[in-house]
Amino acid sequence: MSQTASYSLMVHGGAGALDNVKDDKTAMRYLEAIRRVLEHGREVLELGGSALQTVETCASLLEDDPIFNAGCGSVLNEKGKVEMDAAIMDGRDLSAGAVAAVGNIANPIQLARLVMSESEHVMLISEGAMRFAEHCGITPAPDDYFYTPDRIEQLKQARLHNKIMLDHDDTEGDSEDQKYGTIGAIARDPLGNLAAATSTGGIVNKRMGRVGDSPIIGAGVYADNETCAVSATGYGEEFMRSVISKTISDFIYMKDMNAEEATQAGMAYLTRKVNGRGGVIVIDHNGNCSSGFTTKKMIHGWIEQGGESVVRF
Ligand code: ASP
């Protein structure tokens, strides 16, 4: 079996209306970013990197791109502050690390990975997470690394319309031409190991201290070598209440579904139980890739079984 024939990789850049992607230039910018990250992830896998290393690398690259709602491009809360959530999970032994409501961290996914490998905990939040970051030698990123003029304008619009919204959703009638999205990466390496990572600034104009699904194991992220790897994006409250990522994994574990069947069953469950808005990317233990969303669009891409990269809305 050749090394390149048996890995799979998927990334997403958020779900929503994406009404802003009206012109080809904006669409290309998103799709190129997703393709670039996929190809970088391919290199990591072909050089022998694990699924875990690959999802951490891909998520970090997406956090570093200001067009996405994670890391430097994070949306702002009701106080005009950045509070980010992230989680990573290793399907080999269900080990996981997560951080919530952190500011001034350039790559929350890397901090989540350190929580997993260097602490005895699964999740650290807010000030405690920042203290742990310092303990790990992470230099805080300055405020101006995060606050882009687009994010300030987006919060203004959300406040004006008294809305709490997904990054990719429009406030009625506004004419913003730039939107961004939560990010996620999942992989299956040639050894058959699965891993998942999700990172976000959350939802626009959220309450201070609000934590979404992204750092919650089983809601915004899940990986188990026996079933699948999942990363979710959408209205976190609905994803937490339906424990959507673990539900999809359970469909595979208990009903012997493949990625496609489990994704469809998961989206049907999400809609029927909580009318959930958002989407997921899924790789099953055989390396099949699948995606599903209840919003108009979701920015995502995949490499299935070492094949060509495909990018889509
Ligand atoms: N799921 C994220 C949250 O609720 C938002 C998103 O996916 O865009 O925090």
If pLDDT is split at 50, 70 and 90, which confidence band does 58 have? very high
Cβ < 6 A, ligand 1 pocket: 14, 69, 166-167, 181-182, 200, 202-203, 212-214, 220, 233-236, 278
Judged against a pLDDT cut of 90, whether residue 168 lies above it is answered with no
Distance (angstroms) between ligand 1 centre and the Cα of 178 equals 17
What pLDDT is attached to residue 294? 94
Residues annotated as catalytic are 182
* Alpha-carbon Rg for the chain in angstroms: 18
Distance 243 CA to ligand 1 centre (A): 14
Task: Give the residue, out of 164, 211, 222, 233, with the most ligand 1 atoms within 8 A of its beta carbon, to mutate for a pocket test.
Answer: 233
Q: Is 3 exposed, middle or buried (0-12, 13-18, 19+ CB in 10 A)?
A: middle
Report the pLDDT value the prediction gives residue 195, as an integer from 0 to 100: 98
Q: What does the pLDDT read at residue 113?
A: 98
User: Which residues have CB under 8 Å from 149's CB, separation 6+?
Assistant: none
Q: What is the overall mean pLDDT for the chain?
A: 91
Greater confidence (235 vs 3) lies with 235
**Strand, helix or coil for residue 254:** helix
- Average pLDDT rounded to a whole number, residues 128-136: 97
Q: What is the mean pLDDT of the segment spanning 21-43?
A: 89
Query: Which is the closest atom of ligand 1 to the Cα of 220?
Result: 1
Tens of pLDDT, residues 140-155: 999 989 977 777 777 7
Residue labelled with tokens 């891909």: 58
Q: If you measure from the C-alpha of residue 107 to the centroid of ligand 1, how many angstroms do you get, rounded to a whole number? A: 17
Residue 61 has pLDDT above 70, yes or no: yes
Domains and CATH numbers, the chain: 3-92+149-312 (3.60.20.30)
Tokens of 203: 């939802």
**Ligand 1 centroid to residue 168 C-alpha, Å:** 10
Atom of ligand 1 nearest to the CA of 16: 8
Task: Determine the residue of 170, 183, 204, 214 to mutate for testing ligand 1's pocket, defined as the one with the most ligand atoms within 8 A of the Cβ atom.
Answer: 214
Please report, for residues 66, 82, 143, 145, the alpha-carbon distance to residue 148 in angstroms, rounded to integers and kept in the order given.
Answer: 8, 11, 10, 8
Sign of CA dihedral 203, 209, 210, 213: positive
Q: Which pLDDT belongs to residue 2?
A: 41
